[in-house]
């Protein structure tokens, strides 16, 4: 069924079709519409969800942890400082192996306060043990949320899943998407049947007890192995989803990469802008391409290296500042992934779009222009630069 939905509406509708047992609900821009729309479904009796209104995002994640530990399916949505307020509990959810599904509508973190899009919130939570999926558009936001539960609930994974989309750009923009029939969604999701849970009287247990040094490391290794197992499970679920939707998803999307000599690696809605620029460059004879990362955790390092092995120059586009003095988080992961290649492409990092700063097709063309110069001369120049800030525009234009 085709319908015109915003990204927030699409995710709320996916939640409706799943009909989770519990939602921990607290509003924060730009994710507020998700619990708002879902509250309508609850009020109208369209779902059987226990809708728990709480006093903070910390509490909404606490509700989800308690529900999952008791054997129920739990969902929530948040953004920016709300995700940061959950920080302690993100670790608890993952370490307790509770497959909560969280919709993160990406927004810049304070300060100064900013309500527009970048990826600093979810990137700040990248090492909390959560699987992270990123959407380019509303269709992907809907599809990713539907896939979250079959991924996270798998026994050899049992990890929470964060599905991310760009605030306002994706969350509030309205476009046509294809919805699945609810019965098909229910069959795809299946019943949640955890092996152990607090209300299972046959096997009393504690969740989240004090973990002494004799056991803590073993549990962290198990968690790390679960994240490794998640990569194969994501591909399995994607294949199953394709059968009912006709839409194919991988760990990343390759756009015009079949013979690309110059490439961008990026995440989220900016890929749409970049694709338009690549089409224009291809028409001019430039062998340009894009790798759009869909799965950031677990990071598809080996697979990404295979795709980029035959390129001459690559720009990683980070919509988050890592404050490492060496570039952003996507650059760090990509650079590490390419390290073992016998012949590596030249690699640079472009930090862009912070706090909602626009990325235009001509900006993307400039990046490819710099890559072409790097490929021709072998001279990389500044590896880590920022694009588009006013105070250093002249220097920035020279660097890009």
Query: CA–CA separation, 353 vs 210, rounded Å?
Result: 42
Q: What is the mean pLDDT of residues 15-20?
A: 98
Query: Element (H or E) spanning 51, and its range?
Result: strand 50-53
Over the Cα atoms of the chain, what is R_g? 21
Question: 157-215: per-residue pLDDT in tens?
Answer: 999 999 999 999 999 999 999 999 999 999 999 999 999 999 998 988 888 889 999 99
- Whose tokens are 């919709």? That residue is 103
pLDDT, tens digit, 9 for 90 and up, residues 209-242: 899 999 999 999 999 999 999 999 999 999 999 9
* Predicted local confidence at residue 398, as pLDDT: 57
CATH code: domain 2-245 is 3.40.50.970
Same fold, 2-245 and 252-399: yes
**Which residues is 349 bridged to in the sheet?**
316, 384
Identify the CA nearest to 59 among candidates 82, 43, 41, 36: 82
Burial of 379 (0-12, 13-18, 19+ CB in 10 A): exposed
387-395, long-range: CB < 8 A, 24+ apart: 387/350, 387/351, 387/352, 387/363, 388/352, 388/353, 388/357, 388/358, 388/359, 388/363, 389/357
pLDDT at position 393 over 90: no
391: pLDDT strictly greater than 90:
no
Q: 102, 60 in Cβ contact below 8 A?
A: no
Any idea where the domains of the chain sit in the sequence?
A: 2-245, 252-399
Dihedral (CA of 53, 151, 9, 179) sign: negative
CATH topology (fold) of 252-399: Rossmann fold (3.40.50)
Consecutive H or E run containing 384: strand 384-386
- Paired strand residues for 134: 164
Please state, in angstroms and rounded to a whole number, the distance separating the CA atoms of residues 263 and 241. Answer: 29
For position 229, what pLDDT does the model report?
98
Q: According to the model, what pLDDT value does residue 394 have?
A: 58
How would you list the strands of the sheet with 22-25, edge to edge?
A: 50-53, 22-25, 74-78, 101-106, 161-166, 131-134, 295-297
pLDDT confidence of residue 31? 98
User: For the segment 264-302, what is each residue's pLDDT rounded down to a tens digit?
Assistant: 999 999 999 999 999 999 999 999 999 999 999 999 999
Looking at residue 395, its pLDDT comes to 60
Question: For residue 312, how far is the Cα from the chain centroid?
Answer: 28
In this structure, the chain runs to a length of: 400
Q: How far apart are CA 207 and CA 92, in angstroms?
A: 10
| Local structure of 360: helix, strand or coil | coil
CB neighbours of 329 closer than 8 A, spacing ≥ 6? 123, 126, 318, 320, 322
Q: Which two tokens stand for residue 181?
A: 């029939």
Q: What percent of the chain has pLDDT over 90?
A: 94
Strands 295-297 and 288-293: unpaired
Q: What per-residue confidence (pLDDT) applies to 392?
A: 63
């Amino acid at each position: 069924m085709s319908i015109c939905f915003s990204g927030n509406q699409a995710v709320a509708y996916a939640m409706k079709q799943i009909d989770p047992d519990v939602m921990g609900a607290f509003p924060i821009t730009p994710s507020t519409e998700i619990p708002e729309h879902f509250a309508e479904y609850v009020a109208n009796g369209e779902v059987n969800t226990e809708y728990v209104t709480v006093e903070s995002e910390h509490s909404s994640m606490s509700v989800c942890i308690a529900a999952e530990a008791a054997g129920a399916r739990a969902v929530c949505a948040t953004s920016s400082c709300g995700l940061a307020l959950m920080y302690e509990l993100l670790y608890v959810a993952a370490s307790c192996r509770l497959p909560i599904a969280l919709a993160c509508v990406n927004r810049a973190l304070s300060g100064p306060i900013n309500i527009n899009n970048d990826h600093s919130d979810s990137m700040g939570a990248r090492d909390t043990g959560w699987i992270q999926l990123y959407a380019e558009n509303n269709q992907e936001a809907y599809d990713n949320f539907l896939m979250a539960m079959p991924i996270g609930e798998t026994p050899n994974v049992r990890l929470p899943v964060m599905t991310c989309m760009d605030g306002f750009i994706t969350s509030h923009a309205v476009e046509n998407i294809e919805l699945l029939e609810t019965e098909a969604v229910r069959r795809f999701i299946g019943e949640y049947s955890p092996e152990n849970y607090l209300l299972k009287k046959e096997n009393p247990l504690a969740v989240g007890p004090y973990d002494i040094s004799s056991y803590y490391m073993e549990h962290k290794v198990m968690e790390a192995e679960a994240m490794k197992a998640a990569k194969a499970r994501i591909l399995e679920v994607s294949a199953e989803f394709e059968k009912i939707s006709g839409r194919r998803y991988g760990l990343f999307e390759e756009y015009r990469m079949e013979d690309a000599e110059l490439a961008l690696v990026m995440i989220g809605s900016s890929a749409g802008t970049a694709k338009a620029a690549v089409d224009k460059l291809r028409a001019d004879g430039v062998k340009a391409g894009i790798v759009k990362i869909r799965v950031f955790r677990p990071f598809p390092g080996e697979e990404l290296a295979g795709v980029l092995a035959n390129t001459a120059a690559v720009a990683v586009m980070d919509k988050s500042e890592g404050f490492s003095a060496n570039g952003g988080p996507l650059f760090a992961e990509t650079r590490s992934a390419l390290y073992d290649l016998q012949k590596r492409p030249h690699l640079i990092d472009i930090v862009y779009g912070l706090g909602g700063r626009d990325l235009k097709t001509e900006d993307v063309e400039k990046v490819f222009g710099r890559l072409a110069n790097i490929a021709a001369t072998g001279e990389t120049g500044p590896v880590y630069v920022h694009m588009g800030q006013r105070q250093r525009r002249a220097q920035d234009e020279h660097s890009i």
